[in-house]
């Protein structure tokens, strides 16, 4: 295994000139990982199915949405097949996120040997029912060695158009190495907390298949509720050249807004890609309430004109990257279980930046002059829905 000091020196040598100093959280990063960017549902699902097929010991799947549509059926068939082969298969799904799941679909999974945990079942008659606390994470771990995480749910919304899917704009990442084991530990922590049943993980991997530094940032512990947000703010404060963010539900709190504005004022090129349309119009209107403040400070905002944008990604100075389930809104900050992988990898940053630049070129930029003159009724909708930002 390559020593941490060697990997750190390699990372420092590859930082582009003029980039910020992102070493403030280095003690939280795990070295020796290999990452593969998956930019479409077609790519992500195919890679996930391939990994599931290779499983010899365990498959752990945690998701906010698991629909019993064509994509969900494909995942279910593969989970059941591996369970029948003797692989230990566990599934965590969120009760509200997966409300459209057919109960018979769930029965089939259980009968095939898949262990299923429904996160915070819809049960308003229970005194301890926490309707607002949801499991919004998307994690798949195979044999504690290969993992996937990002913004994609188990739903036909993310499937390619040629297969009848929605082809949503989203990003997943395949993780091989120590960070995959860390994602498995997060899965087990939720399983144990909700079911009170403990299970051992496989031995910690002794191989380092790559050179990426990865911090698996989660917010499930009460003391670390703001961990993902803090990592974003630290990175924004360190930025010296460029900040690129794509976020599905962009309703940033005051701290994030101030960090973005401060970066723009010191000459950093700050560009944010937001949805041009949304499946939740009230969230879309609320998110636009604070555009004026950011635009005045020099932050550039672009609207994606294509399919629904569901990604939660960032690239800063061609060095620091983020992929995960965390939206820059109050629900992710205060209520949901979320996970993001923070990555120090110049090659992956280049790939993500290439996609950003291509997509920004196809998007509509919102200028301050045009924004100031938008219809009066739009301004009233934004003000109204912004009042409910803590509850979306």
Q: What is the pLDDT of residue 9?
A: 59
Please classify residue 344 by burial: count the beta carbons closer than 10 Å to its beta carbon, then call 0-12 exposed, 13-18 middle and 19+ buried. buried
CA nearest to 57, candidates 196, 166, 250, 205:
205
Domain boundaries, the chain: 33-195, 212-388
Give the chain's largest Cα–Cα span.
Answer: 63
Write down the pLDDT at residue 392.
74
Q: Which residues are marked as active site?
A: 136, 138, 143, 310, 312, 317
State the pLDDT at residue 148. Answer: 99
What is the arithmetic mean of pLDDT over 141-155? 98
In percent, the amount of the chain with pLDDT more than 90 equals 81
3-state secondary structure of 315: strand
Pick the CATH number of 212-388 from 3.30.870.10, 1.10.3720.10, 3.30.70.20, 3.40.50.300: 3.30.870.10
How far is 183 from 187, CA to CA, in rounded Å?
6
pLDDT band per the 50, 70, 90 thresholds, residue 6:
low
Measured CA to CA, the distance from residue 168 to residue 160 in angstroms comes to: 8
pLDDT of residue 130: 72
Place of tokens 């998701």: 63
CA dist., res. 152 & res. 41, Å (int): 7
**Check: CATH 3.30.870.10 for 33-195?**
yes
Q: What is the pLDDT of residues 20-53, one digit of tens each?
A: 778 778 889 999 999 999 999 999 999 999 999 9
171: pLDDT strictly greater than 90: yes
- Contacts of residue 214, defined as CB under 8 A and 6 or more positions apart, other chains included, come to 29, 30, 33, 35, 175, 177, 178, 179, 341, 342, 343, 344
Is the pLDDT assigned to residue 200 strictly greater than 90?
Answer: yes
pLDDT in tens, 289-305: 999 999 999 999 999 99
Cα–Cα distance for residue pair 264/261, rounded to 1 Å? 5
φ and ψ at 131, to 5 degrees? -65, -30
Q: Which residue has the tokens 């939740």?
A: 280
Residue 202 and residue 182: Cα distance in Å, rounded?
12
- CATH fold match for the domains 33-195 and 212-388: yes
Tell me which range, 77-81, 161-165, 200-204, 372-376, is most confidently predicted by mean pLDDT. 77-81
What are the pLDDT digits (tens) for 206-251? 878 999 999 999 998 776 889 999 999 999 999 999 999 999 999 9
């Amino acid at each position: 295994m390559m020593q941490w000091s060697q990997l750190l020196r390699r990372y420092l040598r590859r930082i582009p000139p003029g980039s910020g100093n992102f070493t403030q959280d280095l003690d939280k990063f795990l070295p020796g990982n290999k990452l593969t960017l998956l930019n479409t549902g077609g790519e992500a699902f195919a890679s996930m199915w391939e990994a599931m097929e290779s499983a010899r010991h365990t498959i752990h799947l945690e998701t906010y949405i698991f629909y019993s549509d064509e994509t969900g059926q494909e995942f279910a068939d593969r989970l059941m097949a591996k369970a029948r082969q003797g692989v230990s298969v566990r599934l965590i799904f969120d009760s509200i996120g997966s409300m459209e799941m057919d109960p018979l679909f769930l029965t089939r999974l259980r009968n095939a040997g898949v262990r299923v945990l429904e996160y915070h079942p819809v049960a308003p008659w229970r005194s301890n029912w926490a309707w607002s606390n949801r499991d919004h994470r998307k994690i798949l771990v195979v044999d504690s060695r290969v993992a996937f995480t990002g913004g994609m749910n188990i739903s036909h919304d993310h499937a390619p158009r040629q297969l009848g899917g929605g082809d949503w704009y989203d990003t997943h990442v395949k993780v091989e190495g120590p960070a995959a084991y860390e994602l498995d530990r997060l899965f087990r922590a939720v399983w144990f907390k909700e079911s009170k049943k403990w299970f051992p993980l496989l031995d910690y991997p002794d191989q380092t298949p790559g050179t990426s530094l990865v911090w698996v940032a989660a917010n499930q512990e009460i003391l670390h509720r703001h961990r993902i947000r803090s990592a974003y703010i630290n990175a924004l404060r360190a930025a010296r050249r460029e900040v690129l963010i794509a976020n599905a539900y962009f309703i940033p709190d005051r701290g994030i807004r101030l960090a973005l504005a401060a970066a723009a004022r010191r000459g950093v090129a700050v560009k944010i890609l937001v949805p041009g349309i949304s499946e939740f119009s009230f969230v879309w209107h609320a998110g636009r309430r604070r555009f004026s403040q950011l635009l005045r400070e020099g932050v550039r905002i672009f609207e994606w004109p294509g399919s629904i944008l569901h990604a939660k990604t960032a690239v800063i100075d061609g060095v620091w990257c983020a992929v995960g389930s965390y939206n820059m809104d109050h629900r992710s900050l205060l209520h949901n279980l979320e996970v993001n992988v923070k990555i120090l990898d110049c090659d992956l940053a280049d790939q993500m930046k290439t996609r950003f630049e291509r997509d920004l070129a196809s998007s509509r930029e919102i200028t301050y002059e045009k924004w100031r003159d938008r219809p009066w009724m739009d301004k009233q909708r934004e003000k109204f829905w912004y009042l409910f930002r803590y509850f979306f």
